[in-house]
Amino acid sequence: MPLDHYVTLGRSGLKVSPLCLGAMTFGLDWGWGTDIADAQKIIDAYIEKGGNFIDTANIYTKGHAEKIIGDHVGRDPARRDRLVIATKCTGNLFPGDPNGGGGGRKSLVAAVDESLRRLQTGYIDLLWAHFWDQNSPIDELMRTADDLVRAGKVRYFGLSDHPAWVCASAQYEARLHNWSPVIALQIEYSLRQRTVEGELMPMARELGMGVTPWSPLAGGVLTGKYTRNSRPEEGRSTSSWINPSDRDYRIIDVLVDAAAKIGATPAQVALKWVQDRPGVTSTIIGARTMKQLEDNLAALDVEIPDDLRADLDEVSAQPQAFPHDFINNVKTVVQNGTTINGEHRDVWELAPQNDAERH
């Protein structure tokens, strides 16, 4: 699938590229990342290849990521209007100010105005609530989002990193009051992180939210640079985010082998695996260099054979929270010797086996 074969995001008419350019690394204000000149080149290369979806946040590199986008494309109406620019609110840039972040009306309205100023545009195509603010009512969040849409400052609204039950509650608040709905869900999803398949992914498909996974390469763990024979330098980080676990190395073994068999890089296979998952609309890539961007974009040309996909599915499988494993195990009780939607279950041995046994 080429980058310019666009897909609709969730239950909406918004068309986006199948790979989204993440801008978290734009700017050196956190002590690492991509300088302004290279960030501009990456944006240009992504657009030239047909990409139209750029994702950032108010807090990324202390607001500088938004400004880099604004300086380069936001101030140019001819370029800006062809792009889908997404940014996030709820993150707090103001130490000591309890209303500097979160899901309350005061915070949301101020955050949008500040993002519009940095992005140098009159509207945000997709506004994400970045994190769940447990101290703000969900109806206040959704009513404020609707007001921002009606005011023309925001076109669409999405949720990032919220529990499934909160997302469902938000969507039904919107339906009940005829407010703008949640059209998209941004969550961590990769071969390394599959627990989202229990609640978040089926919820998103049922309620019309297109999924845009973040960190599909698990912070670089799934790029192939770490193997059993090439581990992270000792002391580089004590975080499990960087230091692979035994499970991670099992996944990496299969990933590297699959990539070698089809002539792709491990990163490309890992990206394509995520992009092919049911419910995924546009996967966020976070390229810091032009080489990384080119490698990531080439993932769209990769075809993973069924046998290798099955190997990846098996090695990366994760247990799900109750009741998911239980429900799967009792499908025999529900189907009792029938095939439904292509899935067959044997006869339940404790059921009556004939009319004479049925009371």
Tens of pLDDT along 278-326? Answer: 999 999 999 889 999 999 999 999 999 999 999 999 999 999 999 988 9
> Measured between alpha carbons, how far is 63 from 45 in angstroms, rounded to an integer?
23
- Per-residue pLDDT at 28: 97
Query: Is there a catalytic annotation at residue 60?
Result: yes
Q: Taking 70 as the threshold, does the pLDDT of residue 231 lie above it?
A: yes
> Residue 169 is encoded by which pair of tokens?
């509650």
> Measured between alpha carbons, how far is 290 from 296 in angstroms, rounded to an integer?
10
Catalytic member of 46, 60, 123, 156:
60
Where in the chain are the domains? 7-321, 331-359
pTM here?
0.93
* 3-state secondary structure (DSSP) of residue 258: helix
Q: Quick one: which H or E segment has residue 39?
A: helix 36-48
Q: Quick one: which H or E segment has residue 312?
A: helix 306-316
Over residues 77-130, the pLDDT tens digits come to 999 999 999 999 999 999 999 999 999 999 999 999 999 999 999 999 999 999
Q: Mean per-residue pLDDT for 319-346?
A: 92
Q: Taking 90 as the threshold, does the pLDDT of residue 240 lie above it?
A: no
- Per-residue pLDDT at 239: 52
Topology, domain 7-321 = TIM Barrel (3.20.20)
Q: What are phi and psi of 81, to 5 degrees?
A: -70, -15
Mean residue pLDDT of the chain comes to 95
| Segment among 35-49, 288-302, 344-358 with least mean pLDDT | 344-358
Q: Is 321 left (phi over 0), alpha (psi -120 to 50) or beta?
A: beta
> Residue 244 is encoded by which pair of tokens?
């692979």
Question: Quick check: 333 and 321 in contact, CB under 8 A?
Answer: no
